[in-house]
Amino acid sequence: MTWRSDRRERPVHVPDGFLDAPTSLATGALAAAGVAVALRKAGRELDEKTAPMAGLVAAFIFATQMLNFPVGAGTSGHLIGGALAAVLVGPWTAILCMSVVLLTQALLFADGGVTAIGTNVSLMGVITVAAGFAVFSLVRRMAPRSARGVVVGSFLAALVSVPAAAAAFVFLFEVGGTAEISLATVASAMIGWHILIGVGEAFITALTVSSVMAVRPDLVYGARSLLTKRQLLIRPDHAADVAT
């Protein structure tokens, strides 16, 4: 999640010329590898429905990123949505959807540099989803198997996902940044700020997941293990009542 004034309507993307060419190529390779693995594994989450379903999920993320969450004093926050997508549709589909969203924003909306597509996909598409889902799985393993566990897990997943992407950005900037700023300045500004931003992302992600859990828990990928435990109960005494 990023805060900013209402002028821009989406999280901030890395533009052209921010990182040097070798770093951009390396992040491009990382993004391509992430997407390639996701393409192979996403079949398990959505089977043959991949194209239509993932397309609509991507449209959901795209539109949700433009939703204003007012902070007060005229500023508002915008969701990145990596952790939210990971919990709702599973990590592999989430990587695919986030990558498609970022690619579309670069090519159709001039948002984020075309030479920085790899960087943006790596940071916002792969790292937020991977870090978020890792935390989510960890929490699910430790917390009791309940709806509350899923909501707490998605809160912590989103909380970690944003500073994780910011930390990765600081690393990239240190390796291939095109400006001489001390590591301490970049790190404290980026990570400090994004911890705050992560808190907003966490609240909205958890609230959104819990509202989906309330009406259609079967649609929440992260809650599937809860549903398989539910069994249809037929109580003999009531069955006898109905029969007579």
Partner 1 sequence: MGASHGHRLHYHGHSRIHRLPAECKVVALVAFVLCVVATPRGAYWAYGVDAVALGLAIAWSHVPVGYLAKRMVVEVPFVIFALLLPFIALGHRIEVAGLSVSQAGLESGLTLLCRATLGVVAALLLAATTEPRDIIAGLEGKLPRRMVQIMAMMVRYLDVTSDQLRRMRIARESRGFVARNPRHWPVLAQSAGAFFVRSYERGERVHLAMLARGYDGQLPGLTRAVPRRHDWVVASLLPLAACVTALWTWGQR
Please, which of residues 199-218 interact with partner 1 by CB under 8 A? 200, 203-204, 207-212, 214-216
Which of 30, 83, 86, 88: binder of partner 1 (CB under 8 A)? Answer: 88
Is residue 188 a contact point for partner 1 (CB under 8 A)? no
Which of 33, 37, 44, 52: binder of partner 1 (CB under 8 A)? Answer: 52
Is residue 114 a contact point for partner 1 (CB under 8 A)? yes
- Nearest to partner 1 of 18, 133 (CB atom): 18
Is residue 16 a contact point for partner 1 (CB under 8 A)? yes
Distance of alpha carbon 149 from its chain centroid, rounded?
Answer: 18
Least distance from C-beta 127 to partner 1, angstroms?
A: 19
* Contact stretch for partner 1 (CB under 8 A) within 5-13, 129-137, 165-173, 231-239: 5-13
Q: How far apart are CA 134 and CA 126, in angstroms?
A: 12
For 3, phi then psi, to 5°, come to -95, 145
Which parts of 127-166 interact with partner 1 (CB under 8 A)? none
Least distance from C-beta 15 to partner 1, angstroms?
A: 4
Q: How far apart are CA 244 and CA 242, in angstroms?
A: 6
Q: Is 100 exposed, middle or buried (0-12, 13-18, 19+ CB in 10 A)?
A: buried
Q: Identify any residues that bridge with 19 across adjacent strands, giving them in sequence order.
A: 177
Helix 82-89 to helix 50-65 angle, to the nearest 10 degrees?
150
Tokens representing 222 are: 């992260």
